[in-house]
């Protein structure tokens, strides 16, 4: 990984943790983020404050949907590796604000791809999602399976991002690696995620919404495991595969897709019980029907990740949630910091 690294979404959950790891390993990192108000901007600024004291870290506030701003960013600074994590997240929010997903996940990504093309970067890694598997019923989800039936606009934009990246990889020989993340959790996480909002509501004595009456499973993946996998992949830019066997996970272009998950799906009601033990509180359940855009279960087949970089998830859900709860109590116990509604 030669040269300065660009991390988009550096004030976000994964971007913050990844930037901190890269800095610890001696890399120079430029982080960019729009600091939008999709969730509490104060949390984003608090993450940034953890990074900005490092001499090898720089930050620019950039809206990636602004074509001129992104072009100026790439024209000013050469990057060896670009890790594109910035996106409008959230399946449910995509039902309410579809245009923000087009602006961030499509227009913003095209602008990043154009910057990478002009610079001829050595490696572009980009965040995708387990949501791209959509209506697939075969578990575990495999990168070798087709993903042609998204069930939310969010998922559709992430799949479109994969296809756009492949086209640039094919046309301009940009080494590209797609990262399909599975339900990431941990300290400094996103307040819109279930584990975060459940924690707030349980501590406040409020009922928690449990969709499909709890008959759901998720492949919860601890943030440190995510960062470990991405860091290993960052040093492995894909190469041209002349004998490509028409595998959806690969390409004749320098392009690869990987699942990054725990490979251990947990039933939602079991998850709530583990969280209750970590909090020392009982939850009041509000059992609700299935939400539009949701899927019954997710499970990552990480065989390719293990084969390529020796990755195996290491964090047990009980340990990971205990670490999150410890951070949550500490962070929101600080003077002047209010728990978000």
Active site residues: 154
What does the chain come to in residues?
341
DSSP string, 183-226: -EE-TT--TTSHHHHHHHHHHHT--EEEGGGG--EE--EEHHHH
- Cβ neighbour number for residue 7 with a 10 Å cutoff: 30
Q: Is the peptide bond before 140 cis (omega within 30 degrees of 0)?
A: yes
Q: Which two tokens stand for residue 183?
A: 């339900």
E strand or H helix at 169, and its extent?
helix 153-172
Q: What is the Cα–Cα distance from 183 to 295, expressed in whole angstroms?
A: 13
Place of tokens 């320098």: 254
Cα–Cα separations (whole angstroms), residue 248 to 127, 178, 299: 17, 12, 18
């Amino acid at each position: 990984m030669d040269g300065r690294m660009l991390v988009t979404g550096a004030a976000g959950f994964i971007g913050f943790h990844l930037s901190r790891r890269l800095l610890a390993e001696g890399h120079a990192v430029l982080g960019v983020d729009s600091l939008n108000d999709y969730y509490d901007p104060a949390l984003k600024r608090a993450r940034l404050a953890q990074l900005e004291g490092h001499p090898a870290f720089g930050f620019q506030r950039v809206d990636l949907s602004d074509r001129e701003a992104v072009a100026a960013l790439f024209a000013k600074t050469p990057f060896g590796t670009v890790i594109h994590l910035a996106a409008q997240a959230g399946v449910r929010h995509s039902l309410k604000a579809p245009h923000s997903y087009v602006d961030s996940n499509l227009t913003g990504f095209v602008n990043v791809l154009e910057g990478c093309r002009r610079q001829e970067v050595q490696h572009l890694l980009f965040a995708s999602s387990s949501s791209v598997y959509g209506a697939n019923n075969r578990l575990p989800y495999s990168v070798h399976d087709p993903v042609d039936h998204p069930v939310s606009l969010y998922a559709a934009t992430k799949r479109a991002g994969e296809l756009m990246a492949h086209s640039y990889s094919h046309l301009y020989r940009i080494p590209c690696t797609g990262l399909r993340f599975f339900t990431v959790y941990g300290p400094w996480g996103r307040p819109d995620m279930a584990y975060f909002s459940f924690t707030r509501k349980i501590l406040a004595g409020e009922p928690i919404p449990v969709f499909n009456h709890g008959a759901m499973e998720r492949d919860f993946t601890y943030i440190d495991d995510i960062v470990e996998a991405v860091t290993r992949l960052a040093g492995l830019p894909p190469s041209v595969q002349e004998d490509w066997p028409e595998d959806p996970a690969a390409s004749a272009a320098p392009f690869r897709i990987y699942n990054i998950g725990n490979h251990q799906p947990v039933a939602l009601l079991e998850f709530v019980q583990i969280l209750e033990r970590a909090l020392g509180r009982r939850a009041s359940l509000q059992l609700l029907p299935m939400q539009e855009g949701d899927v019954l279960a997710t499970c990552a087949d990480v065989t390719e990740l293990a084969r390529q970089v020796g990755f195996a998830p290491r964090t047990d859900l009980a340990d990971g949630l205990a670490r999150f709860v410890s951070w949550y109590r500490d962070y929101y116990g600080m003077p002047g910091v209010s728990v978000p509604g």
